[in-house]
């Protein structure tokens, strides 16, 4: 069952249970503990008084009162004192004991804050690893949705190589002002150009190169109807190298922009959506998936667990040869099957998608697949950090 990351305030999460990073007294404190008590109301404190505290690494359960969850599971994380005082084991135990309590109370979903990473000072990256591995192990034998709630955005610092890879490979038009969409009437320059376009063509008043650029602009303008697309070479950021590359390729992009728009639209639409394409596929996505699972020697459940996909969705895919997965689902299976880049691309194609350099999501996925790193939780952490959809469901 899935492990998901969400940004926000845990007191607003509608899970069956939320976990509180409490202190040993269980009588409230600062940080997430204070927020939970404030949102739950005084009845929570009254019930907590009856529990007589909690040991570090243990967990106790109460009602949710005015919170949108049924239960609050209070666990006490270790104070970080260098990492050699049993902190990793105690932190892991917080997750395991909380998950066990959630399961005993028939919870189907449970949300965790990043325990111990606030005033208790646990390094966020290490704490995130422990949280993920404890949850992953638990989910191998339990049907539950586990949410990690990050309050201030991602609670880990992210991979430097990935941000470098993104800088190098992500073609991000808006950042580098490769083209700017302007309202036709808003810009005097655009209006002037429009007027010029209306004049009969004077053959030699423009160089051949300029004419080509004008024609390309016209074509693109037509596509946008009420909008006009113009090209500028100044980069919005300070990256001179990218800026130069952008300006060198400007003309090429002018001609290609229209078809690029169409390709992007096609890439974001699964091919199976068109009934005519369905019959034309020799092997469907679903058939390919099942074949590759067999070839890998994995069981179905190993595969959907690794893909962070829930059993119900997998059964749907299994029983419908023409099932049309979303792009993140298709990629989740490619990752679960540990496919090398070419095969991952082939699988994606079967679902009607392609990797695009203008999609940050795709660039992040490619980074991991090229390195043959197939840990879906690590991939999701990075996708989450960049505000991208997560793999699995
Ligand atoms: P601890 O004492 O275990 O370190 P803290 O409450 O100080 O607990 O912080 C634990 C984590 O909870 C921190 O990463 C903090 O950013 C996060 N946090 C604080 N308030 C909330 C909230 N309302 N929802 C989710 N997470 C929160």
Query: Rounded to the nearest whole angstrom, what is the distance from the C-alpha of residue 173 to the centroid of ligand 1?
Result: 37
- Token pair belonging to 99: 């998950």
* Ligand 1, pocket residues at CB < 6 Å: 9-11, 21, 31-33, 35, 77, 113-120, 149, 151-152, 155
Looking at 100, 129, 157, the residue that finishes a domain is 157
How many whole angstroms from 162 Cα to the centroid of ligand 1? Answer: 27
Percent of the chain with pLDDT over 90: 55
Query: Averaged over 329-333, what is the pLDDT?
Result: 95
Closest ligand 1 atom to 152 CA? 16
Residue 261 sits in the same domain as residue 207: no
* Of 112, 113, 127, 156, best ligand 1 pocket probe by most atoms within 8 Å of the beta carbon: 113
Nearest residue (CA) to ligand 1, atom 5: 118
In a domain, 280, yes or no: no
Atom 6 in ligand 1: residue holding the nearest Cα = 31
Examine the domain organization and report whether 146 and 11 are in the same domain.
Answer: yes
- The answer to whether position 209 is within a domain reads yes
Whether residues 213 and 85 share a domain: the answer is: no
Q: Does residue 26 belong to any structural domain of this protein? A: yes
Distance 104 CA to ligand 1 centre (A): 25
For residue 111, how far is its CA from the centre of ligand 1 (angstroms)? 13
**Torsion, Cα of 307, 309, 311, 314 (10° steps):** -80
Asked if 232 and 243 sit in the same domain, the reply is no
Atom of ligand 1 nearest to the CA of 117: 4
Predicted pLDDT at 393? 65
Q: How far is the CA of 381 from the centre of ligand 1 (A)?
A: 18
Whether 337 contacts 311, CB under 8 Å: no
Query: Among 123, 140, 157, which residue terminates a domain?
Result: 157
187 in any annotated domain: no
Question: What mean pLDDT comes out for the span 303-319?
Answer: 92
Which of the pair, 171 or 127, is modelled with greater confidence? 127
The pTM (predicted TM-score) of the whole model is 0.60
Query: Is the domain of 152 the same as that of 62?
Result: yes
Q: Give φ, ψ of 294 to 5 degrees.
A: -60, -45
Q: In the prediction, which pLDDT does 173 show?
A: 57
Which range has the top average pLDDT, 187-191, 241-245, 372-376? 372-376
Distance 126 CA to ligand 1 centre (A): 16
Give the mean pLDDT of 281-291. 89
Contact (CB, 8 A) for 26 and 35: no
Per the structure block, which two tokens stand in for 114? 């990043």
Indicate whether 303 belongs to any domain: yes
Tally the domains of the chain: 4
Same domain, 27 and 90: yes
Q: How far is the CA of 116 from the centre of ligand 1 (A)?
A: 8
Residue nearest to atom 15 of ligand 1 (CA): 118
Residues 231 and 243 reside in one and the same domain: no
Name the more confident of 122 and 226.
122
pLDDT at 55 over 50: yes
Residue 325 alpha carbon to ligand 1 centre in Å: 36
- CATH code: domain of residue 105: 3.40.220.10
Averaged pLDDT, 224-245: 37
User: Residue 393's closest CA among 376, 371, 368?
Assistant: 376
Same domain for 144 and 11, yes or no, is yes
Domain that holds residue 258: 239-270
Q: What are the distances in angstroms from CA 368 to CA 92, 241, 288, 302, 342?
A: 27, 25, 22, 20, 13
Residues 81, 123 within the same domain: yes
Distance, CA of 28 to CA of 47 (rounded, Å) = 12
28 with 93, same domain?
Answer: yes
Residue 50 within a domain: yes
- Select from 151, 153, 154 the residue to mutate for testing ligand 1; criterion: most ligand atoms less than 8 Å from CB: 151
pLDDT band at 268 (very low <50, low <70, confident <90, very high): low
**Best probe residue, ligand 1, of 31, 68, 78, 125 (max atoms within 8 Å of C-beta):** 31
Q: Which residue has the tokens 């969705």?
A: 313
> Could you report how far apart the first and last alpha carbons of the chain are, in Å?
8
Q: Is residue 279 part of a domain?
A: no
- Alpha-carbon distance 286 to 325, whole Å? 9
Sign of CA dihedral 313, 315, 317, 322: negative
Pocket test for ligand 1, best of 8, 21, 76, 98 (most atoms within 8 A of CB): 21
The CA distance from 129 to 153, in Å, is 17
State both tokens at 113.
């804050």
- Residue keyed to tokens 């023409």: 322
Ligand 1, atom 18, residue with closest C-alpha:
32
Regarding whether 358 and 227 lie in a shared domain, the answer is: no
254 and 303 co-located in one domain: no
* pLDDT of 259: 41
What sign has the CA pseudo-torsion 367, 147, 125, 133? negative
**In a domain? residue 172:** no
């Amino acid at each position: 069952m899935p492990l998901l990351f969400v940004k926000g305030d845990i007191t607003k999460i509608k899970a069956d249970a939320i976990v509180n990073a409490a202190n040993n007294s269980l009588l409230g404190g600062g940080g997430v503990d204070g927020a939970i008590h404030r949102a739950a109301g005084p009845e929570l404190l009254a019930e907590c008084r009856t529990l007589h505290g909690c040991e570090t690494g243990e967990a106790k359960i109460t009602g949710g009162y005015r919170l949108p969850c049924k239960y609050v599971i209070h666990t006490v994380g270790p104070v970080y004192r260098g990492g050699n005082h049993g902190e990793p084991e105690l932190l892991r135990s917080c997750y395991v004991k909380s998950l066990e309590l959630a399961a005993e109370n028939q919870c189907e979903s449970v949300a965790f804050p990043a325990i111990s990473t606030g005033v208790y000072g646990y390094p966020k990256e290490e704490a995130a690893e422990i949280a993920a591995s404890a949850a992953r192990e638990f989910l191998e034998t339990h049907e539950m949705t586990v949410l990690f709630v990050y309050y201030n955005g991602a609670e880990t610092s992210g991979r430097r190589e990935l941000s470098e890879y993104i800088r190098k490979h992500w073609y991000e038009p808006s950042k580098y002002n490769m083209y700017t969409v302007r309202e036709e009437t808003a810009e005097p320059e655009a209006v002037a150009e429009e007027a010029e376009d209306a004049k009969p063509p004077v053959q030699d008043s423009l160089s051949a190169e300029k004419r080509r650029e004008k024609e390309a602009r016209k074509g693109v303008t037509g596509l946008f109807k009420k909008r006009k697309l113009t090209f500028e070479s100044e980069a919005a950021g300070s990256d001179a190298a990218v800026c130069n590359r952008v300006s060198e390729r400007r003309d090429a992009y002018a001609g290609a922009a229209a078809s690029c728009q169409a390709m992007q639209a096609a890439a974001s639409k699964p091919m199976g959506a068109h009934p005519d394409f369905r019959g034309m596929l020799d092997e469907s996505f679903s058939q390919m998936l099942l074949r590759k699972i067999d070839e890998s020697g994995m069981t179905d459940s190993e595969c959907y667990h690794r893909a962070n996909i829930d059993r119900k969705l997998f059964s749907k895919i299994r029983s419908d040869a023409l099932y049309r997965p979303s792009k993140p689902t298709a990629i989740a299976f490619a990752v679960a099957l540990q496919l090398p880049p070419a095969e991952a691309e082939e699988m994606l194609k079967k679902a009607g998608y392609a990797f695009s350099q203008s999609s940050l999501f795709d660039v992040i996925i490619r980074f991991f697949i090229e390195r043959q790193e197939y840990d879906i939780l690590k991939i999701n952490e990075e996708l989450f950090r960049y505000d991208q959809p997560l793999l699995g469901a």
